[in-house]
Amino acid sequence: MFYYSFQVVFKEVPKHISLCFSICGCPLRCKGCHSPFLFKNENGKKLYKPDYVKKLKSYQNLATCVLFMGGEWEQEALIDFLRIAKQHHYKTCLYTGLNHVDLSISQYLDYLKTGSWQASLGGLESRQTNQRFTELATGKILNSYFQKNT
Ligand code: SF4
């Protein structure tokens, strides 16, 4: 699995500071994609397990969630990384452009953002969006955390 960037992010998972890996190789090609650099593996660096574990350990007192922006197209590798995150007591989240992911992946997730990018509908901050941010244990849709009160 190849990743384009690693960042500590504050808003992508409500109430969590997250370690965010943006994964290369996205096959979905949403029209108007804001991250076309994620299409090719060659744009990223290989995510090696020892480096990943090192990052998880070094942020253990700061961050509480590990977030994958994509990667469901490499199911086995993604499951492996999610399991490791769980073993290190992190919550886990996946942002996918699909409307559904297999249970073999979602059983290792606490949060899931689904839905392709559709410019006319907007992202999670839009009330018209086709995208959903779900807390999987309760089935609650948490989109309201991303929307400004008007
Ligand atoms: S899922 Fe995200 S990265 Fe992939 S094509 Fe759609 S907007 Fe781009």
pLDDT at 98: 97
Number of domains in the chain: 1
Asked if residues 61 and 90 have their Cβ atoms less than 8 Å apart, the reply is: no
Q: Is the pLDDT of residue 149 over 80?
A: no
Q: Is the pLDDT of residue 85 over 80?
A: yes
Q: Compute the average pLDDT of residues 45-73.
A: 97
Residue 38: domain span: 2-146
- Summarised one tens digit per residue, pLDDT across range 124-134 is 999 999 999 99
pLDDT at 148: 83
Q: What is the pLDDT confidence band of residue 150, given thresholds at 50, 70 and 90?
A: low
Average pLDDT of the chain? 96
Pocket test for ligand 1, best of 22, 28, 69, 96 (most atoms within 8 A of CB): 28
Give distance in angstroms: CA of 33 to centre of ligand 1.
5
Ligand 1 binding pocket includes 46 (Cβ within 6 Å): no
What's 51's domain CATH number? 3.20.20.70
Q: Is 51 helix (H, G, I), strand (E, B) or coil?
A: helix
Ligand 1 binding pocket includes 25 (Cβ within 6 Å): no
